[in-house]
Structure 1
Amino acid sequence: MNQFTTALWSFDADVERYAALKADPNSWRGQMTRTAGSGLAISTVQPLVRTFGASAMQPEPRGVAARMDRLRQSIERLAPFVVNTGVPDAGDVQAIDDICTERLAELAPFGHDHGVRLTLEPPGPRR
């Protein structure tokens, strides 16, 4: 859901209801089961960690390996989701693009095994 799909609700109602629906890391299996049983399909989610490099919204965990672990965990638990590159270290855009390409190639078979599609959000102009 997003503000567009809940246009009949006020912004305050969105905030209140979304907060109540926040995923509980201890009950995600039940939440996914209830969603599937409701007849609703999850088309995409935003996992807590969705970048290969640190970002202002997601500075932790540090390091590509730790972030890959979190992405794998999200693949095991969630539906298709969007990833993006994150902020390049020392402004090295090519390096973060290379990391993203390599890591997506590594994650794709894992996602396939779990029935999850990965989507890369193209970055805006950076050069």
Structure 2
Amino acid sequence: MSVPRFSLNSQTIKQWSLEELVSGCVAADVSAVGLWREPVQEYGLERAAKLVRDAGLSVTSLCRGGFFTATDPAERAAKLDDNRTAIEEAATLGTDTLVLVSGGIPQGGTVGDARSMVADALAELAPFAGEHGVRLAIEPLHPMFCSDRCVVSTLGQALDLAAPFPTEQVGVVVDTYHIWWDPQVREQIVRAGREGRIASFQVADWITPLPEGVLLGRGQLGDGAIEMRALREVTDEAGWAGRPIEVEIFNEALWSRDGSEVLRETLERFTEHVL
């Protein structure tokens, strides 16, 4: 039986190949997926697009673009070119959402410098994205990732960066794992809806103690501290009602298990803790 609004981000069952992901979703009556660039590139972009299209799956997002904070001019130009490629890949896959992780603080730089680089990169890329029917979705990451991965730490910062651009070109990602802790999270979700900026809604839980290598610390739904249903309700009230919700969990314990078993469990937890 189909679970409404459920989209499986491929990282949740990373042990599956792209073909296994597609066949596993079809078998479980899952109709939407979030994809990552590396497996798509390995399989072949056009082949991947045909694979998901022939299976009747919709692609809710492509991850990821970004990493804009290079100070070397040649490296920065290469990053921008790679993001243009990512935009074209998203369009080919049939998704209108490219998730952006902005990048950390460059060596010898400051967090302010890095955030200015992100704003400059958006100004260069937003029109190109719009021409391809793709929306750049700025994802704020938890502050523990600020130095090395993402200088955009709150939904408010992401919205401020998006503000100069048309809503169809630049939006934001509401990801429970990264923003649940923010005392302004509900107000900023409401703001995102009011400004027409919500481009993606993703869920994962926060578990403690964090495992070594916190990047892989996302928990199965219901295993941690996040009030996911409450945040889903706020996001729905802000205008996301009826739209897909991506489950994106980085967790080695899940990756070591049978993929079909993980998917069954995740669908159950999604129904219990998110819907």
TM-score normalised by the chain length of structure 1: 0.70
Give structure 2 stretches of 5+ with no counterpart. 1-7, 22-38, 152-275
Shift of 1:121: 1.2
Correspondent of 2:49 among 28, 32, 38 = 32
Deviation at 1:86, TM superposition (A): 0.9
Larger radius of gyration, structure 1 or 2? 2
Equivalent position to 1:119, from 137, 141, 157: 137
State whether residues 53 and 63 of structure 1, in contact with CA within 8 Å, keep that contact through their aligned partners in structure 2.
Answer: no
CA shift digits 1:66-99 (9 cap, x unpaired): 1111110010112322112211122411111111
Question: Percent same amino acid among aligned pairs?
Answer: 29
Please state if 1:65 is matched with 2:77.
Answer: yes
Gaps of 5+ in 1: 7-13, 55-61
Show the counterpart of 2:116: 98
2 CA distance for matches of 1:43 and 1:76? 15
TM-score normalised by the chain length of structure 2? 0.35
Picking from 44, 48, 51, the partner of 2:67 is 51
User: Over the residues paired in the alignment, what is the CA RMSD in angstroms?
Assistant: 2.9
For residue 56 of structure 2, what is the amino acid of its counterpart? G
Q: Which has the higher contact order (CA 8 A, sep 6+)?
A: 1
- The CA distance in 2 between the partners of 1:101 and 1:68, in whole Å, is 13
Cα deviation code 1:3-55 (max 9, x no counterpart): 89x7xxxxxxx3331466622357201211332333221111213x531126x
1:2 aligns with 2:48: no
Aligned to 2:223: none
88-97 vs 69-78, which moves further: 88-97
Alignment-derived partner of residue 86 in structure 2: 74
Instruction: Give, in whole Å, the separation in 1 of the partners of 2:14 and 2:42.
Output: 20
